[in-house]
Structure 1
Amino acid sequence: MKKAVFVFTCVTFVIGFMIAVQFQSVGETASNGERNAVEIRQALLSQQERQQQLREDIRTQRELLAQYEDMENIEGTMTEILTALEEEAGLTEVSGPGVVVTVDIALSLDYDGGGISTVPAYLLRMLLNDINTIGAAHISVGAERLVSTTAIREANGRTLVNGKWLPYFPLEIHVITDNPEALHFALMSAESRELFLLENLTFHSEPVEELTVPAFDSSHRVRYMETVEEEL
């Protein structure tokens, strides 16, 4: 009887020990599981924060890129406007299709006057008015570019353009135009041709595929304007 009780006690002890070990293992497993879940949760939160930061960085970079693109567009637009204004003001050399008008002496058989060294200023202005009326984008007389402030006048029996003497004959006038043929034929029948003949001069024109008009190389004269200093 005692032996049976002893055996029962030993078996019970072993079973109890095994159950205790099992409970401890389950507890450790549960504890490890909870710890792993916390670590995973923290890792997820950290990853979410990193993704949010990356999204913020991407948004910031896109905004900066858009600003740079806008700045480049503005700079490009301003450059185009400045170039167009400089071209319109005659400050740049221009090339394109046009007409070369050549003015030369045409002495009649009964001419007994003195030497002819220049085109009279009034006659040159008349010819240029005809050219502008027919249609011209850019004009140069000799080496002088015509601009809005160009003055054509006479001094000591010679004609000046932009304050510089006209070259001797033959005098070339370069005209850039969208329709060289139309300008050419219109000049051939211009009324100013008869007045040129009265001054023993003549001109003829020739359409060309491309010619160059030089840039205006003098200083622009601005009237009725003065600088104003800013008051501090």
Structure 2
Amino acid sequence: MQRKWMFTFILLVVGFMVAVQYNTVQQPSERDTRDIWAIRNELAKERKLHSELLTEVRALDETLDKYNASEEGNKGQALLETVEDLRQQAGITEQSGPGIVIDVVPSQESVAMGTPLHEISPELLTRFVNEVNRFKGLDMDIDGKRVTALSAIRDINGQTTVNGLPVTIPPFQIKILSPDIEKSEKLYNFLQSSSILDDFYLDDFILEINEPENNVKINGRSDQSENRYLKELPKGG
């Protein structure tokens, strides 16, 4: 008899757990209210990120294959080439290629009304950089200051700076390099219809976007990058 009651009690516990689990599945605590297009956009972002990661992994695999295929005497050359690629990615070296030049100038209305010239705010410059970074593989400098993923655009003592260097009051130029002329044309068309033009106009500035060119030159970073983790091994070590 005692065993029968024990068996009945176990069945009740199991039945209760199954009922709770079923109720949780049927009535989730937080319902996903996104429509199909929001889900598709989210999926597209994840696919884009996945593609970028695969590209980076492929590039690293190619570098490793280059080292493995090199003879002992050529490994030093392969290492130098890798270092040069990293210097370019870090924005240390001067570069040239297809791109566009943008003249940042005061608006005609502000000049006609005698509005005092003023500098561009860090927030506006940051919005511009974020807008351009919708396109991948670009290199940029703002007023001769190289902009990379590690660059800081901020206010220092009331002055807008890029990499700690002050940005002059307009007019000045923004230069953007693309991998090829076709991507420069896409960027040109994108910026022509971008709302960032209105953002600059509201701050009394005009972006004069020149047509793509085959040979645009941008500066390398003039500031020194800080090395926090790499340590030089002792000679012979």
Contact 2:117 2:169 survives alignment (8 Å): no
Contact 1:134 1:186 survives alignment (8 Å): no
How far apart, in 2, do the equivalents of 1:152 and 1:109 lie?
A: 25
Q: CA deviation at 1:119?
A: 1.1
Counterpart check, 1:184 vs 2:188: yes
How far apart, in 2, do the equivalents of 1:78 and 1:71 lie?
A: 12
* Structure 2 residue identity aligned to 1:209: N
User: What pairs up with 1:106-121 in 2 under 5 angstroms?
Assistant: 106-108=107-109, 114-121=115-122
Contact 1:102 1:170 survives alignment (8 Å): yes
Q: CA deviation at 1:142?
A: 1.0
The alpha-carbon distance between structure 1 residues 114 and 205, as it changes in their structure 2 partners (threshold 3 A), is closer
Contact 2:94 2:218 survives alignment (8 Å): yes
The alpha-carbon distance between structure 1 residues 219 and 110, as it changes in their structure 2 partners (threshold 3 A), is closer
- Residue 153 of structure 1 is matched in structure 2 by 154
- Residue 213 of structure 1 is matched in structure 2 by 218
Q: CA deviation at 1:108?
A: 2.5
Q: CA RMSD in A?
A: 2.7
Seq. identity, %: 24
Number of corresponding residues: 161
The alpha-carbon distance between structure 1 residues 81 and 227, as it changes in their structure 2 partners (threshold 3 A), is closer
User: What pairs up with 1:22-171 in 2 under 5 angstroms?
Assistant: 70-108=71-109, 114-171=115-172
Q: TM-score, normalised by structure 1?
A: 0.62
What is the DSSP-based 3-state SS (H/G/I as helix, E as strand, rest coil) of the residue aligned with 2:71?
helix
* Structure 2 residue identity aligned to 1:194: D
How far apart, in 1, do the equivalents of 2:114 and 2:225 lie?
A: 38
Match of 1:196 among 195, 200, 212: 200
* Structure 1 residue identity aligned to 2:194: A
Q: CA deviation at 1:148?
A: 2.7
Q: CA deviation at 1:112?
A: 5.8
Q: TM-score, normalised by structure 2?
A: 0.60
The alpha-carbon distance between structure 1 residues 175 and 110, as it changes in their structure 2 partners (threshold 3 A), is closer
- Residue 51 of structure 1 is matched in structure 2 by none
The alpha-carbon distance between structure 1 residues 195 and 222, as it changes in their structure 2 partners (threshold 3 A), is farther
- Once the two structures are superposed, what CA deviation does each residue of 1:168-195 show, in whole Å capped at 9, x if it has no partner? 3212111100321111111111111111
Q: CA deviation at 1:82?
A: 0.8
The alpha-carbon distance between structure 1 residues 95 and 226, as it changes in their structure 2 partners (threshold 3 A), is closer
| Structure with bigger gyration radius | 1
Runs of 4+, deviation exceeding 3 Å: 109-114, 225-230
Q: CA deviation at 1:156?
A: 4.4
